[in-house]
Copies of this chain bind each other. A is one copy, B any other.
Amino acid sequence: MESQKRKPRADAVRNRELLISAARDVLKTGGPNASLEAVAREAGVGIGTLYRHFPTREALFHAVFSRDLEDIVVLAEGQETAADPVAALRSWLHANVALVETKRGMLGALSVVMTPESKEAYSGDMQRIKAAVDRLLERAAEAGQIRDGVTSEDLLQTMYALCYAREPGPDWREKVLKLLDIFLDGLKL
């Protein structure tokens, strides 16, 4: 192996971190169309540096959210041994909504995640989430509690769609959960 690699430069590592952190802030208020130049300014680096680290908007988003995605995965995997599969599903979805709520800007930004172009970039995390949710769905279907033929993708898409449909506001969570629960009820049988 010619893995005679140099150690990564310290400034590069530092700047990357600064950018992610700045992006987190800017996305929070600016949503998915937030200005990347603003991110660079906030991070105190040149715009060129931003683009070198993250060639596309999606790449930056990915870096910002991969940790949050991690939380979601852990949550899903934690539910896998729960007694009531449907309740587990519901509970995971609710937790998920709550997470989206706290992240605010993430709400809009997450929609970017679901677009086909970025599917590839996210494949790693998404794969794990999908796998976990699929196991939950399968368990519930086997227990005869929900219809089958419903994929984790269906469920995730619906959840994010409902989150995304409504502007943040005082009754945001309440409304989203209401619609989500109706959907879950439709799943039963």
Instruction: Give A contacts to B, CB under 8 Å.
Output: 33, 114-116, 147, 150, 154, 157-158, 160-162, 164-167, 175, 178-179, 181-187, 189
Residues of B within 8 A of A114 (CB): 165
Whether A164 and B167, one on each chain, are in contact in the complex, defined by CB atoms closer than 8 angstroms, is: no
CA distance A167 to B161 in the complex (A): 12
Residues of B within 8 A of A167 (CB): 115-116
What are 7 A-to-B residue pairs whose CB atoms are below 8 Å?
A115-B167, A154-B178, A158-B165, A161-B165, A164-B164, A181-B186, A186-B186
Whether B157 and A165, one on each chain, are in contact in the complex, defined by CB atoms closer than 8 angstroms, is: yes
Q: Which residue of B lies closest to A165 (CB)?
A: B161
Query: How near does chain B come to A102, taking the closest CB pair, in angstroms?
Result: 21
- Contact check: which of B154, B157, B175, B187 meets A186 at CB < 8 Å? B187
Interface centre among A150, A161, A175, A187 (most CB of B within 10 A): A161
Residues of B within 8 A of A166 (CB): 157
